[in-house]
Structure 1
Amino acid sequence: MNPRLKHLVVALSLSLLAAVFTPAHSADTKKADAAAVVQLQQRMDAAEKHYRDAMLAEDEDAAATATTSALAEMKAVVDACTKQRGCAVDTMLTTYERLLKATPQFDDGMPAADEDPLDERDFTAANVPDTANAASLLSEDGQRFVKMVQFNPAVQAGIRRWLTDMRPSLMDSYENYRYMQAQMAPAFKQHGLPEALLFGIMAKESNGKVHVGSRAGAVGPLQFMPATGRRFGLGNDGSGFDTRYDPKASADAAAQYLSERMAQLNNSIELSLAGYNGGEGRALRVFRDTGGRSFWDPDVYNQFPAETKDYVPMVIAAAWLFLHPKEYGIRWPSVSSRPSTITLAQPASLYELTICLGNWGSRDGYLRALRNLNPRWAADDMLPAGTSLNATFRISWLYRFNCAHGQRMALAKQLMASNVQSALVRVGEPTPAGSPQVAVATPAPSAAAAVPERKPAKPVKARHYKVKRGDTMSEIVRKFDCDLGDLAQANKLRKPRYALKPGQSLKLEGCKG
């Protein structure tokens, strides 16, 4: 047979064989692929159900373990889907990403020895620029700060104080700052100021407690006086709220203020801090009179008050520790601080939320974090359903777990409604279920007094209470069993602070006790 003809016959034979066997082979492959895709979808559905069932676990630890396991299974399904023909990766990934975003970072509260406790992933949602690395001087920001200040014995003495008697305040400052960092840090970055400087000022001024106020009238996390605050847009926003308490607004004002001082004072951080604490007029006058010499020059240093001489090195010392924790044996508290929000499913106060949330993942619970992130509200303000509150992913998860359903919120409301007066029961009166009876002695009626003579009723005078030093509105409301709104309206007190003064006479409207 002709070789060419032979090759043609072979080719035709192979074509016929392909025509006969390929369709059957393709059908089998498609069936296998389809079955594999169905199996992957079933795994994804089961993992999602496992995740949602975890919200009904008995405690937060069990829920955290179960949700983490479910998310790991979903990730494995997504990975398998990318390798499986016919699998819609986008569909699988949507489920995984939706639940991943709703899950907080479950850590053990203590970073590893070689781990930077500043988790940069916490700030991706807030678009915060790279922060100073708290483990070592790796960032340009940190290097720049170190070059701008003097690490002298005064600063070293400040470090000694922060690491001994004031260590608890330093730890509190760091933890409080981490919750507010996403709100406060961008302002300093935008003005070209080191973030470590922001931390140092806040640690010295308020320990990161937003509602702190001084006797001189300075308030907020960065302690602005009324007049200085007004220059930079802080003050009453028209609703009665003073924006000096707002972390974001106060950080922006502080960045503007320090930028002004730095421009006037030859970029001296020490003199700018002296102006922040001791008055910008004094700092500028001293700078000009001494020919722009350093803050540490005796002729300059001795023209500032004792408070400012203490303030400047203490701020720099706190900033230095923020940048060099390992060198000084500091283990910062681990804080899960990725920003999120809570929408109240039912009316609640910050006090009730604090009780309801518990303290899983935080030694001291979440009252300070909630107040710092929501400075507009007093802790005992009853906020209506639908109110949106700033929170973190962990707090929002705990809210859904503990407060959106179940008995924890009911328990919190019961505890907040409780007061001592309601525990007192006269002899013969029924006692609340489960409560011991408290006998309150009453004089026995005599025979002559069996039918008392009816006297004309006297007009009831409004009762008053004289405010004592240390009294708060919430304590007075509980003591006299008052309606907060009625009491505030009767005395023309404005929320959120309901500011009281020692010696002030309160008209006890809306009070039963």
Structure 2
Amino acid sequence: MSRRENTSLFHRGGPGLGLAALVLVAAAATPRAQAKTFLGGTPQSVSQTVQDAAQQQAAADYAQKVQDLINKTEASYHAGVDDYNANKLDAARMDFDSAVDGMLSSGMDLKNDPQLADEFDQLLSRINSLELVALKQGNGFSPKVEEAPVDAANDVTFAPDAALVSRVTAELKTTTSDLPLVNNEYVSGWIDAFANKPTLHAHLVHSLERAGKYKAMIQKILADNGVPQDLIYQAITESGFQPQVLNRRSGAGGMWQFMPFGNYGLARNGYFDERFDPVKSTIAYAKYMKYLYSQFGDWYLAMAAYDWGPGRVQHVVARTGYADYWELYRRADLPAETKAYIPSVIAAVIMAHNPQQYGLTDVTPDPAVTFDTVTTDYAIDLRLVADLTGSTVADIVALNPALLRLSTPNDIPYDLHIPSGTLQEYKDRLQNIPEEHRASWRFHVVKAGETLDQIADTMHSHASEIAEFNELKPAQPIEEGDELVVPVAASPTFRGSQRYTLRRNDTLVTVADRFGVTVEQLREWNHLKSSRVAPGHSLYVSEPIRLAPTSRAARGRHSRRSSHTSVHSGSSKDHTSAKRSGAAKRSSGKKRAR
């Protein structure tokens, strides 16, 4: 179907047909031999006809009501997106709340009506994606991203240029590709745009530079899955090889722009979103493209289905009888974005294979991203990871674009990427830090001229606690190269149940991040059915103590280990206890590097 929802005869463009009109329509469709019986038959037959017509009218009225609610919801959501893009976050939140409230208060069955259930689930997923990315970008370390060309497709217009079409067609004769490249006025138009429109040319150049980071990895995954190598250039149109791109209107995210809903084998929670993981999302992309090709038998239709959705492409192919992308393009059966999508990918492939003809010889690909991997099942702050590996927080964030916070999740296995060559050093240094303190404590290599007080001030610790934990003696001053574990007080947590009263601008995501729990835990502990929370509402932010729990509830709570029951007050007593427990056993009081 088209992007606009297809509507039936009875609710297209306004109110449905009246009951009498339905009867007449039914009569007109009845064979002449039955017309007399239909209009002048027995009371029973007339009654049945009227009843059938009434049911049709009721179904049409309900369908119109559903569509009106969806239209109203989408209007509120898109108004929120506009405010979000304009950095009017309070206004955006009000619009998003209005969209959710409108559906919840509609009185309609959101659970059992497939169309409404799908709309509601997608609405929550899209809003949640925006909140998570806003949270991630709010950490100050995530890079800014540039708009992908298809997002600006409506601004690109092409004047027919027969000479350009002829030249590009000639170039294709010497261009080798494992994609079936063609040229026409649409592809040539995109080549001209990439070459001569400053914004699009800059996007192409930057994309080809960034491609160096991931090219070897992507090509191996494409080869492993038996799909064309030149599909790598689809990422230019999708994201420009930017793993943290989010389409704020649709909620699609990552290098391959997966939607926040759908079964692509990519995990999403309050701590990480694998759509932003370059490796895992590329594997999902390759598998999905292979599946789409098996459905359509044509790479152009497969790409169109990737952009627009396979169901929509199958529908338009069945309706028109044309299983040919270019015929569907010429017949105006495709939306503007999908019409721009395939020609822009083909144009990028042609230009990448012919850099001299298009002024791309000066493009220098970025070095390939390399890293060591350590699997964590404990929470560790990325600042501590940077300390342990001798790198910066920005370096660690860049290696882990799927992380939504400056911490790994607790009790959930996560493949943490650290700079190449630092794995053993990371493990050696980490063993001196108790697991329960890795989300707050720091590590420091003493620089020339530093004092213990200076280190304590910089890392928000206390000199006495650093000295005690590292077994430093007054007569033994620190020296350049000494490696110190730096105890830092964590955000306060409390034994037993803890509640928090929501304030203006709070969301489940921000509350979960504040208290070091997951959104799923907040929903479970507070029996929440949606992500909507209102100011003034009190939430459990640690696992509540419940009397006489049901066996089901008990099983649910005991299935995961709570990480929020211990108290860390920042006192030296706690540090001494941890040290004596053997959790942070060291070979010596301090390690000197010479």
TM (norm. structure 1) is: 0.45
Q: Which has the larger radius of gyration?
A: 1
